[in-house]
Amino acid sequence: MTTPLVPALNFSQDTLTQVAQTVLALAQRKGATAVEAEVSEGVGQGVTVRLGEVETIEYNGDKSVGITVYVGQKKGHASTADFSEAALNSAVEAALNIARYTAEDPFAGLPDADRLARGTLPDLDLFHPWALPVEAAIALAQEAEAAGQAVDARIDNSEGATVNVSLGQFVYANSQGFCQGYTSSRHSLSVVLLAEDNDSMQRDYWYSSARHPNDLRPAAEVGRIAGERAVRRLNARRIKTGQYPVLFEAPLAAGLIGHFVGAVSGGALYRKSSFLLDSLGTSVFAPCVTLREDPFVLRGMSSSPFDAEGVAVAPRVVVEKGVVQGYFLSSYSARKLGMVTTGNAGGSHNLLLDSTGEDFAALLQRMGTGLLVTELLGHGVNPVTGDYSRGAAGYWVENGVLAYPVEEITIAGNLREMFGRIEAIGTDALPQSSTRTGSILISEMTVAGEG
């Protein structure tokens, strides 16, 4: 019998460094006044089981070189998946040709040299290969799905259980003498189940993801939670239109923070396409809200010792007692705004929303009567005005207890008003999320249902 495959990286960090240095040398020799290169590789294995049978086994692998050159204030970019010197030479030529025909941009260029991450970088414990033979991955997926199906006889179908193993590495280098990179891993297990009772059919899911396979939740637990969630949604109904308190379950609460991050990110701010223009130093959230960014969380899903352009990162408070303390800026957007980079080229790094101390049950008790939202549908969010309108499903809550499942409703409001009406943040944050927030209780929103 053939030995089952397990994913493994094909190149060393030294090889990626050599490719990056070759790009820098070629570009400068051909007339670039500045240049940056990112060399990366990713490999992975995915196994999906449905109703106990193997549905898919996938292996993926890719590599790439991204090259950005500057000729004065003119910028050009090209990429290739070929590490040979001939291909690198062609890609550099392509980037330079683009730059020569591009208009000058006074804000373009590499980050300020004194902002780069120099010296020894912290070890954030991000790389944990999982030597998981495909047969073992199949067994894990089968265990998870079977555990979910065993929850209730009404779980009569499945969209499958999936086990993914992913490894990646990169090196970023620029002509200011910066050249750093690291390896990382990301593994996950997910289950999607369907339950049916009379004329009611519902689906729900659960998952676990982590840098280290030992940090994944047990397969049987993931399956059980998916099964319990699917059954709990059976025989859902609508509720009367009105103004109610709304509790966003933790996985969805992270999306609310995502809308804030998008609104105070450089691109939206300098394009003036944000409902939070000039919000620095102002109260945007209720006083109970404090949001921190910490790039150095060990095994964190968004941890990194530097951002996408090599700028040093550091823990900081983004919102303190409701007041915005910082934006999310790259070097380019910072220059456009007359500010300095916050080390967020490429995005945010582990957002941590402080809890107000209540667990999930206490949040339900605090809400009393209202709506628990566990699923959102559609994309009805206007980032310019902050207007928010989403299809939703969840549970009607009476006297702090789940009364019955709810579907075919719409929740609406304005994000700025919603942020100001946050009453409490739970202790039920998911450790697997790059935005760690517990469930969020908002004192009032419009809920459109019947009548």
User: Where do the domains of the chain lie?
Assistant: 13-230, 236-451
Question: Tens digits of per-residue pLDDT, 186-210?
Answer: 999 999 999 999 888 999 999 999 9
Question: Tens digits of per-residue pLDDT, 27-61?
Answer: 999 999 999 999 999 999 999 999 999 999 999 99
Nearest to 383 by CA among 266, 277, 263: 263
Region 13-230: CATH code: 3.30.2290.10
Nearest to 273 by CA among 343, 340, 336: 336
Per-residue pLDDT band at 119 (split at 50, 70, 90): confident
How many angstroms separate the CA atoms of 24 and 248, rounded? Answer: 48
**Position 439, amino acid:** S
Per-residue pLDDT band at 243 (split at 50, 70, 90): very high
pLDDT at 451 over 90: no
Nearest to 430 by CA among 256, 257, 254, 304: 254
Alpha-carbon dihedral sign for residues 268, 272, 275, 276: positive
pLDDT given for residue 379 in this prediction: 87
pLDDT at 2 over 60: no
pLDDT over 90 for what percent of the chain? Answer: 96
pLDDT given for residue 7 in this prediction: 82
DSSP conformational letter for 430:
-
More confident call, 451 vs 367: 367
pLDDT given for residue 5 in this prediction: 61
Residue 137: φ, ψ to 5°:
-65, -40
pLDDT given for residue 198 in this prediction: 86
Nearest to 98 by CA among 79, 78, 72: 78
How many angstroms separate the CA atoms of 310 and 442, rounded? Answer: 38
How many angstroms separate the CA atoms of 431 and 215, rounded? Answer: 10
pLDDT at 3 over 50: no
How many angstroms separate the CA atoms of 222 and 105, rounded? Answer: 50
pLDDT given for residue 432 in this prediction: 84
How many angstroms separate the CA atoms of 209 and 109, rounded? Answer: 36
Across all residues in the chain, what is the average pLDDT?
96
pLDDT at 221 over 60: yes
Mean pLDDT (whole number) for 151-169: 97
